Structure 1
Amino acid sequence: MTKPTPADETLAGHGRYAYSALPDRPVYDWPGGKRLAVYLALNLETFDFGSGLGAELAPGGPQPDVLNYAWRDWGNRVGAWRLRDLFDGLDLPASVLVNSRLYSDCPGLIEAFRARGDEIVGHGRTNAERQGSLDEAGERALIAEATAVLTREEGRAPAGWLGPWISQSKATPDLLAEAGYRYHLDWCHDDQPTWFSTRDGGHILSVPYPQELNDIPAIVARKDTGRDFADAIVDGFDEMLEQSRHAPLVMGIALHPYIVGQPHRLRPLRRALEHITRHRDAIWLTTAGAIAAHAAERLPLPSQWSRAAGA
């Protein structure tokens, strides 16, 4: 028998969704006959002092890495409040992605966004860890612990989840569905919500979350300036608004207070968001949870296909 060449071998797949070309899909509207849904994802995060993961302004030194820890902590003490004021001034809703330990680490912070009526989304316990590196029992416990805190503090269970560091194991969608979550934000594979199949015939919705219009990849990784990031938001919005004539689309903007809350980045961000609000009548300014709820009523549930080898 001839040994298969690499081109003949079957690649491992995830088995969560089937391929679907955007032009071939049914067209539907967002509320009010709109075709572009826009949401702000505000990441409110806490970090361990002297250990664990954390975004870096500059290459970290020996622990305790005071330079980077203090830079991130500034975001919760100052930057988040400036962003709250910005959102208030422009009458913008937000989906607030919350590490559950923030309720004890930064009392009053999450409550301030709750008072605005913002959506509170699960985002793990802290951003000093990745859930995808845990075994299934450990990951289940992380989800359960974070969910219990948010449910107790907010008076209701969160509908959505973003993993810390956008980290998933092969079982994460299954665990989230089993924990009662209706949508997750970890995958950036589409511009429309997508059903994921989960084990035992279940399902969970994936809502598009941005990796390009996200200040960590843009500013921390690619070293874009605040003006570069703001220009990308404006260009992305203008193009998606035009593209949405043909199909309903979702545009997310991911923000971290310790990055875009800095004054020299806040000013260009304000200009970009003002540009979006000038088109308020043409778009649906909303939350990720509202997008998920609207799409779930209109998208047919997935047929169960076989999980690919290695998924």
Structure 2
Amino acid sequence: MSYLEYPKRAYGNDHDLYPWSYSAQREPVRLDDGTRLDAFIVVPLEFFPLNPSGKPFKHPGAMVTPYPDLRHYTTRDYGLRVGVFRILKALRAEGLKAVFPVNAVLLDRVKPLIETVLADGHEIAAHGVSTDHIHYAGLSEADEEAYIVETKALFEKHGLSPKVWMSPARNESYNTPELLAKHGFTTLLDWEMDQRPVEMKTAAGSLTCLPNHFELNDFNLLITKRQSEDEWEAEITEAARYLLAEYDRFGSQVFGFTLTPYVSGLPFRIHALKGILKVLAGLEGVRVSTASEISANWSK
């Protein structure tokens, strides 16, 4: 039975990036501004190569059929040319702000889109170099750091210095958090281990992790799980209402969800998106804001 003996086994987490915190045993947080639920909307702007390397795996939105997979390539391109502008219009109608993680190689390709996002008051976040630059444990630390340095350089070329990061495919290596902190990033959208912001400590500094829920991701629900638009709308609005109802017990909480331009930006899905945004805008105690604003609000 020696295989049951593990000298590092202990109560709580199996790492020291953040402390163990059991929700039922901690004090509720009451935010000074009265916010009961902080919601953030993630709209990734992604570049999908026509011939992805697939290392160490293909991004979930990558090409599917043999080269040249023009059907899926042009669908993704449609999201950046058409679908995302429907999302922007819907957000504008409700006066809501979102965070737009951008693959750095897109900055030269979709300049008018980036200008529109910024003009509407949304937040730009760094989303790595491209969907074909996956961060994973098989990368050397030097190669991964080079990805981050390249990402920052491309943003700086366009006068942008984002402090919020979301990894391509939301995948990381064991070195990713420390490398991000080393290069000045302060907020991370890859993790989802809580219903509150979590401070992650690394040797290079701290990161604020916001719970970006994959289970509410439009690609996951509408494409992978093949749910209907009405089901998707109901799930997100129910999540918001449920978390609000928990306020007396748990205090203020946070949740985020993703709108993929080539998924929820399609014309037959906009009615569901409009319904989601209208509910969020109308719920008392809910604040929909950017990732940086939420991080700042919770750090007071």
- Structure-1-length-normalised TM-score: 0.87
Contact 2:218 2:259 in 1 (8 A): yes
User: 1:82 maps to what in 2?
Assistant: 86
Residue 215 of structure 2: SS of its match in structure 1? coil
Q: Which amino acid in structure 2 is aligned with residue 62 of structure 1?
A: P
The structural deviation recorded for 1:240 is 1.0
Measured in 2, the distance between the counterparts of 1:216 and 1:122 equals 20
CA RMSD of aligned residues (A): 2.0
Q: What are the within-5 Å matches in structure 2 for residues 1-311 of structure 1?
A: 3-6=1-4, 10=8, 13-30=14-31, 32-52=33-53, 53-56=58-61, 60-132=64-136, 133-153=138-158, 155-199=159-203, 202-246=205-249, 247-279=251-283, 281-297=284-300
Residue 37 of structure 1: SS of its match in structure 2? strand
Q: Which amino acid in structure 2 is aligned with residue 286 of structure 1?
A: S
Q: Which amino acid in structure 2 is aligned with residue 185 of structure 1?
A: L
Residue 258 of structure 2: SS of its match in structure 1? strand
Residue 32 of structure 1: SS of its match in structure 2? coil
The structural deviation recorded for 1:56 is 4.8
**Moved >6 Å (runs of 4+):** none
Residue 111 of structure 2: SS of its match in structure 1? coil
The structural deviation recorded for 1:294 is 2.0
The structural deviation recorded for 1:129 is 2.8
Residue 38 of structure 1: SS of its match in structure 2? strand
Residue 33 of structure 1: SS of its match in structure 2? coil
Q: Deviations over 1:250-277 (max 9, x none)?
A: 0212111000001112211211211111
Measured in 2, the distance between the counterparts of 1:70 and 1:93 equals 27
Measured in 2, the distance between the counterparts of 1:47 and 1:56 equals 8
Contact 2:195 2:255 in 1 (8 A): yes
Residue 214 of structure 2: SS of its match in structure 1? coil
Decide whether aligned partners of structure 1 residues 101 and 64 sit closer, same or farther in structure 2, where only a CA change above 3 A counts. Answer: same
Measured in 2, the distance between the counterparts of 1:73 and 1:128 equals 16
Unpaired runs of 5+ residues, structure 1, are 298-311
Contact 1:210 1:251 in 2 (8 A): yes
Residue 96 of structure 1: SS of its match in structure 2? strand
Residue 190 of structure 2: SS of its match in structure 1? coil
Identity across matched positions, percent: 28
Measured in 2, the distance between the counterparts of 1:222 and 1:192 equals 27
Unpaired runs of 5+ residues, structure 2, are none
Q: Which amino acid in structure 2 is aligned with residue 143 of structure 1?
A: I
Measured in 2, the distance between the counterparts of 1:56 and 1:184 equals 21
The structural deviation recorded for 1:156 is 4.5
Q: Deviations over 1:83-110 (max 9, x none)?
A: 1111111111011111111111222111
The structural deviation recorded for 1:30 is 3.4
Measured in 1, the distance between the counterparts of 2:224 and 2:269 equals 16
Measured in 2, the distance between the counterparts of 1:244 and 1:74 equals 40
Q: Which amino acid in structure 2 is aligned with residue 30 of structure 1?
A: L
Decide whether aligned partners of structure 1 residues 93 and 145 sit closer, same or farther in structure 2, where only a CA change above 3 A counts. Answer: same
Q: Which amino acid in structure 2 is aligned with residue 137 of structure 1?
A: A
Contact 1:51 1:64 in 2 (8 A): no
The structural deviation recorded for 1:32 is 2.2
Residue 44 of structure 2: SS of its match in structure 1? strand
Contact 2:90 2:277 in 1 (8 A): no
Measured in 2, the distance between the counterparts of 1:31 and 1:75 equals 39
- Structure-2-length-normalised TM-score: 0.90
How many residues align? The count is 291
Contact 1:205 1:296 in 2 (8 A): no
The structural deviation recorded for 1:295 is 1.9
Q: Which amino acid in structure 1 is aligned with residue 143 of structure 2?
A: G
Q: Deviations over 1:158-197 (max 9, x none)?
A: 1110100001000111001000111111111111011112
Q: Which amino acid in structure 1 is aligned with residue 4 of structure 2?
A: P
